[in-house]
Structure 1
Amino acid sequence: MVLATAAAALCAYIAPAAAGSGIPEVKAYLNGVDAHSILAPSTLFVKIFGSIFGVAAGFVVGKEGPMVHTGACVASLLGQGGSRKYRLTWKWLRYFKNDRDRRDLITCGAAAGVAAAFRAPVGGVLFALEEAASWWRSALLWRTFFTTAVVAVVLRGFMVFCRGGKCGLFGEGGLIMFDVNSAKPTYSVPDLLAVIFLGVIGGIFGSLYNYLVDKVLRTYSIINERGPSLKVLLVITISLLTSCCSYGLPWLSRCIPCPAHLEDQCPTVGRTGNYKNFQCPPHHYNDLASLFMNTNDDAIRNLFSSGSVKEFQLSTLIVFFAAIYFLGIITYGIAVPSGLFIPVILAGASYGRLLGNLLGSLSDLDVGFFALLGAASFLGGTMRMTVSLCVILLELTNDLLMLPLVMLVLLISKTVADCFNKGVYDQIVKMKGLPYMEAHAEPYMRHLVASDVVSGPLVTFSGVEKVGNILHALKITRHNGFPVINEPPFSDAPELCGLVLRSHLLVLLKGKKFARQRVMTGTEMMSRFKAHDFAKAGSGKGVKLEDIDIKEDEMEMYVDLHPITNTSPYTVVETMSLAKAAVLFREVGLRHLLVVPKTPGRPPIVGILTRHDFMMEHILGLYPHFNPHK
């Protein structure tokens, strides 16, 4: 209870963005959603300690999602040159002061988080490729691979150092977390039918899981909006419920005699392990307590264990599956750093082993391998990943012989689940209102052109603009980019010069390099600035509008915008299909797309397309008669 309250207090009062797994937020950031709090230093601090407290408190949560978020936060901190607030800065990291390089670094951080959590370096690379990154380049492949290789080397070094119990349970098991050795690498037609059935069940259970998680998250969001105290109270309530299940449900199970010829002690006393006594007579154990009263990792090892058909009763597996399924749903979304991988693996392994026990002699496969296939099917049904999950499971279990069956069950479960809803992370991104752009354009976009969705009054600046006009525009709008128009006497006719960013205008105004005459002073003005003054600011950094102090006489002065204007912005003609514009916007990773007129004799710009203009809610607000699915 104390640990649960501590984790909740950290998330509720210090960094609310640290709650949950963090993977949807990292995925949205890598898609171009620039939310500073997602990767702030305070979020990193709370994510680390909140995750430790949450797992130690006994919640049905995993550490894998929080570790992905932690890796991304560390990468972001490095990419912005450290933290000025905490006086941790490194000038040599200014190389990363742009969007693309910072995204690459955060992608490497997310891959490192998966590699560290699962001890799966190749799986980390594929996770970043398949799930996290929206833009992938060949150079990013070897960078993520190098990052995860370093993670594997460091992990191995710590494990060697921690052998013999120096660091508790950390040094045990090596890089293979759940070693599964199939007794028979062969399988028959009934086995294939069982695998197909597992895939279908995983798809159904997975889609239902995602649906219920979405409903619970929407309910929790209403509760959480009422203040941090209610967040903490909700966490305490879920903690009490989890404790009641963990300590109450084992009373429903009966005592089982310890198997003969065991190498390990039975029942296990004073440590984690396979067999828990729980009020049983000597040489007996409680199989349900052996799942509930172990660490999550040991519970998975118990379910994956081979050569032990009668270790768990059918009723035990049913009760454990129902409890984990229910607790996993209601726990995700409370104000505690929590991952989905472990609850999903536990639930899937439970019904997988249950099916293996039911088949008995009809199947050549071991019940432990059925548990692995069940975990794979549930992972595929909830997260909708295939290649990365397959490799992660192989690196987790060291069972390469059953690769075809793991591939088959993942493909089937994903296909079945896709018939009902989207993956859990995609649903959370949508539920949180993050403007995530899909890889493909929506069908209804084919019926619109770029100029149809341009909204809001267009604010433009002249190449040499009055200071007062710039300051007024910055105050009355929240735009982050403004078109710059050259007008006579700087051009024969009005023409589009380019795009200037709000952050650059703030730096320019704060520097007060103004002129009293409306003339171009670019070279002289820029000599007073340094290149890194205009670099992308990190979390909580950069010049703010409140920092600008312009005197009355300076309002009538002029400033030359040409030196800070991007003179080659991406532009599309106003009659371009909105679907094509959306694909271009996402594939290139843009924040602004300028729309220009098709015919001469008109103003040189029609408007600006931003991420908001491609969102379904905006388009259907303008054209409510459109069917979003056609």
Structure 2
Amino acid sequence: MWGRNQQHDVALLQEMADMEPENEVPLLLGQLEEARSHQEEESKGDEVGVESLDYEPIHSLVYAQTKKGSNQRHFYGYTGLTFAKWIITITIGLLVGVVAYLVESSQELFITMKKDWTQETIDEGIKLPLVFLGYAGFGIVLVFMSSCLVLLWAPAAAGGGVTLVMAYLNGIDIPSFFEFRTLVTKIVGTICTISSGLPIGQEGPMVHIGAAIASSLTWMHGRFPTHRRDGSQRYSSPFLQTISKFTQKAWPFDFHNDKDRREFISAGTAAGLAAAFGAPIGGVLFSLEEASSFWSRKVMWRSLLCTTMATMILAWLNDRDFSLSLPGGLAYHGIQVEVDLDSVPLIMVTAGSLGVLGALLNTVHGWLSQYRAPSKKGLLRVVEACSITFIAVGTMFILSHLFGRCLPIQKGQQGEEYWFRYTCPKTDPNTGIAYYNDLATLYFGVPHETIKQLFAMGSELDTYFSIRSLILHSMSFFVLFNLAYGVATPGGIFMPSIMVGASFGAFLGRVFQVYFPGENIQPGLHALVGATAMLGGVFRSSLSLVVIMMEGTGGLQYLLPAIIAIYVGNWVAQHIHHEGAYEADLERLGEVRFLQSEPPRHLISVTAAEMMAPNVITLTEIVSVGDVIKILKNTQHNGFPIIRHADANDEGQLVGLILRHQLLLLLEQRAMIEVDSDMLYLPLPERFIARNPRVTKEHIYLEHAMRVYHHCHNPHKRYLSSRPEAVDELELDAILQEHPVTNGVHEANSKENGSANKEIQEGSDSAKSGQQVSIHKRELALDLRHYMNRAPVTVRAECSAQRVYIIFRTLGLRHLCVTDSNNSVIGMITRKDIAQSSHHQKEHSEGKITLERQESDGSSYFGDRASKDILFSLP
């Protein structure tokens, strides 16, 4: 028996059983024989279990009563919680800045070291093929380390991570995505990958790193609760029992819920991009425009503080000066390029050309994705990454040797240490003229320095880089970029997109100089326009990219060209490839059901009744333990409506919603009461249900444990709680043997509900007449009235699907109950239902198929590739 304070309620229940035995009706649970069977879960194969996040607060009776006395003001805010959140936000920004400095400085160190070694070995007379093998070997070792870390230790660290950060902030939990080992692998793997010679960058990984740092700082590290309420231990190991005693309350503040954590992760996302580009305001706008699906004024202020701290600490580590004009890895302060309004038509040509190239990148990436090595063949994935590294380094050496042009370093040409001589003659001792190979400089230089030099190209015809070198570099880099985009290593696509856009834009600028000699054409301006248009064509962002480029260059005179580049590039790319890089991968991947900011137009003609899943499994406020176990073992549903019967013929009115993990915790803690089995199927009188049950310390204990359930049970892999093994691990067999299960299951909430209820009722009556049901049979039950969400969001069956979409996404729901005019539950809408209805109704409007409910696993796009290597290779 759980809790002495339950005795009064049990006595009342027993009294009702004695008073109204003739009103016995079966329990309204749903038809379990039609529930879907469990398949092999993701941890046993290549699939990845994806669950929705519980952003909606659980407005339970316990929660409401405990909050009534919590409004006393303390040091700052209420109980210091607001102050703690600001401190954590500042800490996130500082840590992101330190990590960004580590990544940036390590990249420069490795690239400069390799370039110096290459030049020294060439000067020593070693043949170029041997130099190439040494350079490629070093890069392959770095990629090998990175890919092995990803495949063997932290698969979630592959790719850029921006796509899955967007998915998380949209309400989707990705397994192991924010684990600490994923964060470590992301940092180490990014340093190795960007230093190896692969044409990918660190900007996307920095977004993931910022979000992971924010997640780690707000994750409750501890085990809670330690003991079951029956006195047994959760852990058989004495060591775990001892450790858990000291880690029950690892954090004094209560923001270990999905809703509060998403605010910190939004700030960390903004800080990661801000540190990469040196753009604090641009980082905030990127988080608002691209990453975060839920935004508010307090999130904006925290994000701005976080990005400011990240860029300022990065500036101090770089130059020992707290200044926002000396920020991150892709900052281009100091370029002096004039903007002439007469060149606007040519700027539009450049922007349109790079918009085409950006759309082509997304198209080619989609086509190549189905031919990537599958995750089940880990060795093949490693070989793929190493082979592409070898091809990339070989391309750099061969093209630089065959087509590179030796140019003299002129007076005033900034950064003489940047220019790479390669196979060009040494400095002339008589004239003092030094030479550099322009194509080799483009390939072997530090990427952000190369981009800066491209932006700084002036109006002279023979400076910096030749036309031939620019076109060869841009096209070869584009091809290598497509090959590297999707390998099993950490790496993003911001820097390669900027590199291709800047190089091709500079090429067009040089061509315009030749064909329009009388015009003041500056290739550097076209490089800036090309980079911006390329980003717009790839990502389809607008405002955030403009601000990022303005903050990166530090000049408002480039505002008009940047705006023209964004809009023209977006417009052109939209007509070639409809979606941006992130949205395209999320749309094609069936496991991640991303909800866009606006509802699809083709949902206008659909109603909630057509979108919902029927045959909902419902529970009553006091439910048999045996029935709960049967439901949890035979379904994967995570939300169950709670109904109340008014009389024996009533289908039951909706009074609440209980989540799967709440039921699991009640079973784990043995929070059970013992009642007569016949009484469980009686309609409870209004005089009893209308009275709120008393809230005790035990209720508060369990309610808090429910809110931190996923921090302590299968952390970072909450999909494991939906498996039948989660019920088996509770060791309930001994209890069930002492209290046999009563079969009180029947179909509810469907068109056939009446006949099903009638059959079960008749069976119950015949059993009673045959004296086969013992009125005094005892059975364990769960009292859900204290913990259920008493205010679940509902819609009527006639509600428009577009309105359902808006309600669901705006409120961050996981479950949306559909009711009829009597407030009886007739269906349930989840993220899966909305995504499937949107997809299939769209195809129906295009004349392809009719509106049907079916699974979408993305197999038509990705072929036989598993979900794991698709999920964890996204940009």
Task: Compute the TM-score of the two structures, normalised by the length of structure 1.
Answer: 0.90
1:198 to 350, 356, 369: 350
Match of 1:610 in 2: 830
Cα RMSD (Å): 2.9
Deviation, structure 1 residue 295: 1.8
Contact 1:255/1:280 (8 A) holds in 2: no
Secondary structure of the equivalent of 1:240? helix
CA gap of 1:216–1:172, structure 2 versus 1, over 3 A, is farther
Match of 1:315 in 2: 468
Deviation, structure 1 residue 16: 1.4
Whether 2:365 is the aligned partner of 1:213: answer yes
Deviation, structure 1 residue 458: 1.4
Q: Work out the CA distance in 2 between the residues paired with 1:53 and 1:486.
A: 60
2:213 to 74, 90, 93: 74
Q: 1:423 is aligned with what amino acid?
A: G
Q: 1:545 is aligned with what amino acid?
A: V
Whether 2:419 is the aligned partner of 1:284: answer no
CA gap of 1:546–1:10, structure 2 versus 1, over 3 A, is farther
Match of 1:442 in 2: 600
Contact 1:515/1:557 (8 A) holds in 2: yes
Q: 1:294 is aligned with what amino acid?
A: G
Q: Work out the CA distance in 2 between the residues paired with 1:265 and 1:77.
A: 40
Query: Gaps (5+ residues) in structure 2?
Result: 1-139, 224-239, 428-433, 681-688, 742-778, 851-875
CA gap of 1:260–1:159, structure 2 versus 1, over 3 A, is closer
Q: Work out the CA distance in 2 between the residues paired with 1:119 and 1:460.
A: 53
Q: 2:540 is aligned with what amino acid?
A: R
2:640 to 468, 482, 500: 482
Whether 2:810 is the aligned partner of 1:587: answer yes
Identical aligned residues as a percent: 29
Whether 2:383 is the aligned partner of 1:244: answer no
Deviation, structure 1 residue 252: 2.0
Match of 1:366 in 2: 522
Q: How does 1:44-443 map to 2 (within 5 A)?
A: 44-82=183-221, 91-92=250-251, 94-161=253-320, 177-185=331-339, 187-189=340-342, 191-220=343-372, 223-262=373-412, 268=417, 273-282=418-427, 283-307=434-458, 309-310=461-462, 311-360=464-513, 361-420=517-576, 421-433=578-590, 434-443=592-601
1:509 to 664, 667, 672: 667
Q: Work out the CA distance in 2 between the residues paired with 1:12 and 1:532.
A: 37
Q: What are the superposed Cα offsets for residues 448-481 of structure 1, whole Å, 9 maximum, x if unpaired?
A: 2111122353111110000011111011111110
Q: Work out the CA distance in 2 between the residues paired with 1:313 and 1:350.
A: 11
Q: What are the superposed Cα offsets for residues 84-128 of structure 1, whole Å, 9 maximum, x if unpaired?
A: 699999733643222221111110110010011111111110100
Match of 1:597 in 2: 820
Contact 2:159/2:486 (8 A) holds in 1: yes
Secondary structure of the equivalent of 1:26? helix
Q: What are the superposed Cα offsets for residues 356-395 of structure 1, whole Å, 9 maximum, x if unpaired?
A: 1122244434222221111011111111111111111111
2:161 to 12, 22, 31: 22
Secondary structure of the equivalent of 1:92? coil
Deviation, structure 1 residue 400: 1.5
Contact 1:75/1:109 (8 A) holds in 2: yes
**Structure number with bigger Rg:** 2
Q: 1:196 is aligned with what amino acid?
A: M
Q: Work out the CA distance in 1 between the residues paired with 2:297 and 2:264.
A: 14
Deviation, structure 1 residue 484: 0.6
Q: Work out the CA distance in 2 between the residues paired with 1:99 and 1:225.
A: 30
Q: Work out the CA distance in 2 between the residues paired with 1:247 and 1:453.
A: 57
Match of 1:168 in 2: none
Match of 1:13 in 2: 152
Q: 1:276 is aligned with what amino acid?
A: R
Contact 1:61/1:338 (8 A) holds in 2: yes
Contact 2:335/2:455 (8 A) holds in 1: no
2:788 to 565, 570, 582: 565
Deviation, structure 1 residue 315: 0.8
Q: Is the deviation greater in 525-534 or in 619-628?
A: 619-628
Q: 1:532 is aligned with what amino acid?
A: H
Q: How does 1:512-527 map to 2 (within 5 A)?
A: 512-517=670-675, 523=695, 526-527=698-699
CA gap of 1:410–1:89, structure 2 versus 1, over 3 A, is farther
Q: Work out the CA distance in 1 between the residues paired with 2:700 and 2:554.
A: 60
Q: Work out the CA distance in 1 between the residues paired with 2:812 and 2:699.
A: 31
Contact 1:203/1:413 (8 A) holds in 2: yes
Q: Work out the CA distance in 1 between the residues paired with 2:797 and 2:477.
A: 53
Q: Work out the CA distance in 2 between the residues paired with 1:528 and 1:437.
A: 35
Q: Work out the CA distance in 1 between the residues paired with 2:648 and 2:221.
A: 42
2:716 to 515, 526, 540: 540
Secondary structure of the equivalent of 1:478? coil
Contact 1:80/1:94 (8 A) holds in 2: no
Q: Work out the CA distance in 1 between the residues paired with 2:550 and 2:360.
A: 26
Q: Is the deviation greater in 538-547 or in 582-591?
A: 538-547
Choose between structure 1 and 2 for higher RCO, CA contacts under 8 A separated by at least 6 residues.
2
CA gap of 1:402–1:67, structure 2 versus 1, over 3 A, is same
Q: Work out the CA distance in 2 between the residues paired with 1:628 and 1:30.
A: 32
Q: Work out the CA distance in 2 between the residues paired with 1:247 and 1:575.
A: 66
Contact 1:526/1:563 (8 A) holds in 2: no
Secondary structure of the equivalent of 2:604? helix
Q: 2:536 is aligned with what amino acid?
A: G
Deviation, structure 1 residue 254: 4.3
Q: Is the deviation greater in 450-459 or in 369-378?
A: 450-459
CA gap of 1:625–1:172, structure 2 versus 1, over 3 A, is closer
Task: Compute the TM-score of the two structures, normalised by the length of structure 2.
Answer: 0.66
Secondary structure of the equivalent of 1:214? helix
CA gap of 1:462–1:616, structure 2 versus 1, over 3 A, is closer
Q: Work out the CA distance in 2 between the residues paired with 1:274 and 1:129.
A: 39
CA gap of 1:290–1:258, structure 2 versus 1, over 3 A, is same
Q: Work out the CA distance in 2 between the residues paired with 1:388 and 1:133.
A: 13
Q: Work out the CA distance in 1 between the residues paired with 2:406 and 2:842.
A: 66
Deviation, structure 1 residue 265: 7.5
Q: Work out the CA distance in 2 between the residues paired with 1:240 and 1:484.
A: 60
Q: Work out the CA distance in 2 between the residues paired with 1:362 and 1:332.
A: 41
Q: Work out the CA distance in 2 between the residues paired with 1:238 and 1:42.
A: 26
Q: Work out the CA distance in 1 between the residues paired with 2:717 and 2:222.
A: 9
Contact 2:286/2:544 (8 A) holds in 1: yes
Q: 2:393 is aligned with what amino acid?
A: S
Q: Work out the CA distance in 2 between the residues paired with 1:387 and 1:286.
A: 38
1:453 to 597, 611, 614: 611
Deviation, structure 1 residue 27: 0.5
Deviation, structure 1 residue 148: 0.7
Secondary structure of the equivalent of 2:370? helix
Q: What are the superposed Cα offsets for residues 181-220 of structure 1, whole Å, 9 maximum, x if unpaired?
A: 33434x132x000111112112211111111111122321
Secondary structure of the equivalent of 2:598? coil
